[in-house]
Amino acid sequence: MTQLSLAPRRRAFLQFMGLAGLATLGNVGSLLATEPKVTTPPYNTFTEEEELALGRQFSAKYESKVEILSNPIIDAYLNDIVKKLGNASQRPQWPYQIKVVNDSEINASAIPGGFLYLHRGLLEFVSDENEMVGAIAHEVGHVVARHTTNQLSLLLIAQHVFDQVKHNILMDNDVFAQVLQQLGGPVVVLAQLRYSRQNESEADLLGFYEMLRAGWNPNGLYKFFTRLAAKTGSQSPVDVMLSDHPATEERARVMRRELESINVPSGLREQTFQFQALKLALSIMPPAPRPVRQ
């Protein structure tokens, strides 16, 4: 079946979804339009429990290297958003959470199991809630598609330590930490697990449909990439530590094409009071420090 023959059916389906209301959009039972269906490659045999344990170890190491900005109101707002996006994703069971890294970089990252980090520079860069939710939804997309554990599995298999990690990861010992140390330390390992361009495109599309189902206009992703390209040129710095992104203009173009292929339902979330409160809270804090490169 060609793309052309799919398009009218897609429009009809989304018109129906719009008429049926947002409550129906919250049901992840069927994929929408060109949303990729997430599958795990056979070499990634980590169970969800094991993946969560890996994520806890990585996140503890990461948080010991950066300054976390803890603010109960900001944390509650961002965690409410990521839970809505997670519930609308193809892995709704993950315990998604967000922490803010107090540095000026326009950056975000995701660690297996749903540990997301937004840098303060990104929160200061975005101009409305939709753009910010677009960046979060993209990171949720990486978690949903298990991009990091797919890459990690290949690395551990190549180093002949995959069985050792699998055997020990749920035990109360530090074997995984030792393996990471042998491979150069967690930061070096994470830096090796670069997302491919295909991973990035998949995370963009997964994020697009997470937003739509969770009740946000997915034009936030288009606006985010368009403004980012204008500010930084073609290479996006978002999850720069971990990825080999396609050019930002190309990502904006793909998101616009996706927007044009659907009928965006009415009644989606617009600018919110909480977002204005977030911006105000950030503006009265001391300036964000420059990022520390490990």
Question: Which residues here bind Zn ion, judged by CB under 5 A?
Answer: 200, 239, 243
Whichever of 130 and 243 has its CB closer to Zn ion, that residue is 243
Q: Distance (Å, rounded) from C-alpha 195 to C-alpha 221? A: 19
The residue behind tokens 């209301």 is: 21
Q: At its nearest, how many Å lie between Zn ion and the CB of residue 3?
A: 25
Q: At its nearest, how many Å lie between Zn ion and the CB of residue 159?
A: 25
Q: At its nearest, how many Å lie between Zn ion and the CB of residue 47?
A: 24
Q: At its nearest, how many Å lie between Zn ion and the CB of residue 58?
A: 16
DSSP string, 14-34: HHHHHHH-HHHHT--SS--TT
Q: Which residue, judged by CB position, is nearest to Zn ion in the bound state?
A: 239
DSSP string, 173-204: SSHHHHHHHHTT-HHHHHHHSPBPHHHHHHHH
Whichever of 35 and 200 has its CB closer to Zn ion, that residue is 200
Q: How far is CA 165 from CA 44, 153, 172, 186, in A?
A: 13, 10, 12, 14
Q: At its nearest, how many Å lie between Zn ion and the CB of residue 199?
A: 7
Whichever of 126 and 161 has its CB closer to Zn ion, that residue is 126
Whichever of 57 and 236 has its CB closer to Zn ion, that residue is 236
Tokens representing 185?
């330390």
Q: At its nearest, how many Å lie between Zn ion and the CB of residue 178?
A: 29
Q: At its nearest, how many Å lie between Zn ion and the CB of residue 164?
A: 29
Of the CA atoms within 13 Å of residue 202, those in its CB half-sphere come to 19
Q: At its nearest, how many Å lie between Zn ion and the CB of residue 238?
A: 6
Whichever of 215 and 237 has its CB closer to Zn ion, that residue is 237
Between strands 115-119 and 97-101, the pairing is: parallel
| Closest among 185, 110, 118 to 148, alpha carbons compared | 110
Whichever of 127 and 198 has its CB closer to Zn ion, that residue is 198
**3 state SS of 153:** helix
Q: Distance (Å, rounded) from C-alpha 26 to C-alpha 196? A: 29
Whichever of 219 and 243 has its CB closer to Zn ion, that residue is 243
Whichever of 131 and 239 has its CB closer to Zn ion, that residue is 239
Strand partners, 99: 117
Q: Distance (Å, rounded) from C-alpha 131 to C-alpha 109? A: 16
Between strands 68-69 and 108-111, the pairing is: unpaired
